[in-house]
């Protein structure tokens, strides 16, 4: 690299990351990015006249630094910061310079970004990203990491919550995906809870436990009370239809303002979800 200070910062950052000291990484990333800006490395200039071997080498180091920032933010559960790092990494990943866009972390970080979009219910951006990625990968579903969020999305759209939950619960060979799985599982649980509120006036607590993938009725009871449901004689009463209908109206207004949301998708899925849950209640499982 081109600065005495920058190599020292990069070395310290690498040591902290390898030691899994992600809070120290977070502290080091600020001054490191300042040094990158000083040396015109944070935003690559990809004009052919500037692409010397030294410059490409420096850009690859910059890319590694941003990847450390992205992965550290995942371990710290700071997903908004992750998205900021991923936005910066896009310019390194998606270009015509093979010596720059190759990375062992590329597919993993893309997969994590897609999972974040799913957890936020931002299916519009999710599918826009898939269209974009399809232009850069020969077959997305052939890649184990990239196919992971695609499967989750497909099963959620179908109302096949058990398949999506099972995939997340089983874990993966990639620790970062497992770190994020809990967040996405909570999002799935909330989605099922909202659909349950719309589909039923009440349900036995034992069925609510099964529908929401809780191990015990006590855990299901805690969740129900936190959501404002009433429990009487081991029966859960939802009493939330007016509030939910108001939320749907508010989401539709937000959509008119151009904000990403799942309103249309949710409304289209309600009949399918209710049929699925009716069957699930009878057999005490979600198929």
Q: What is the pLDDT of residues 137-166, one digit of tens each?
A: 988 999 999 999 999 999 988 888 899 999
pTM recorded for the entire structure = 0.78
User: What pLDDT score does 110 carry?
Assistant: 97
Instruction: Tell the residue number behind the tokens 């995906």, with chain if given.
Output: 177
In this prediction, residue 236 carries a pLDDT of 97
> Could you tell me the pLDDT band of residue 182, with boundaries at 50, 70 and 90?
confident
Q: Which residues pair with 203 in a beta bridge?
A: 236
Percent of the chain with pLDDT over 90: 61
Answer for the pair 114, 61: CB distance below 8 angstroms, yes or no: no
**pLDDT for the residue numbered 272:** 46
Residue 198 tokens, joined? 């719309």
SS3 state at 41 = coil
The two tokens of residue 104 are 């062992």
Could you tell me the CA-to-CA distances from 151 to 60, 101, 154, 156, 265 in Å, in that order?
Answer: 31, 25, 5, 9, 17
241 pLDDT exceeds 70?
A: no
pLDDT at residue 17 is higher than 50: yes
pLDDT of residue 240: 59
Q: How far apart are CA 19 and CA 283, in angstroms?
A: 48
Q: What is the pLDDT of residue 3?
A: 45
Cα 152 to Cα 168: distance, rounded to the nearest angstrom: 8
Instruction: Tell me the average pLDDT of the chain.
Output: 84
DSSP H helix total and E strand total for the chain: 14, 3
The mean per-residue pLDDT over the stretch 189-197 comes to 90
């Amino acid at each position: 690299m081109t600065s005495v200070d920058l190599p020292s910062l990069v070395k310290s950052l690498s040591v902290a990351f390898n030691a899994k000291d992600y809070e120290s990484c977070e502290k080091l990333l600020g001054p490191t990015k300042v040094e990158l800006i000083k040396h015109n490395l944070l935003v690559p200039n990809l004009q052919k006249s500037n692409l010397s071997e030294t410059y490409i080498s420096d850009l690859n180091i910059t890319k590694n630094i941003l990847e450390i920032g992205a992965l550290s933010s995942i371990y710290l559960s700071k997903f908004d910061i992750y998205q900021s790092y991923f936005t910066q990494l896009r310019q390194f990943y998606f270009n015509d310079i093979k010596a720059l866009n190759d990375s062992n972390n590329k597919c993993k970080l893309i997969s994590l970004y897609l999972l974040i979009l799913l957890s936020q219910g931002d299916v519009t951006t999710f599918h826009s990203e898939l269209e974009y990625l399809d232009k850069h990968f020969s077959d997305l579903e052939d890649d184990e990491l990239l196919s992971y969020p695609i499967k989750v999305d497909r099963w959620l759209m179908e109302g096949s919550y058990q398949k999506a939950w099972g995939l997340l619960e089983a874990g993966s060979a990639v620790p970062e995906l497992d770190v994020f799985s809990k967040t996405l599982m909570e999002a799935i649980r909330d989605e099922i809870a909202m659909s349950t509120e719309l589909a039923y006036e009440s349900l036995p607590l034992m069925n609510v436990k099964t529908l929401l993938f809780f191990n015990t009725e006590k855990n299901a009871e805690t969740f129900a009370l936190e959501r404002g449901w009433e429990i009487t004689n081991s029966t859960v009463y939802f009493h939330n239809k007016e509030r939910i209908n108001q939320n749907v109206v508010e989401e539709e207004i937000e959509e008119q303002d151009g904000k990403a949301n799942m309103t249309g998708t949710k409304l289209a899925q309600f009949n399918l979800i209710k049929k699925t849950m009716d069957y699930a209640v009878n057999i005490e499982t979600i198929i």
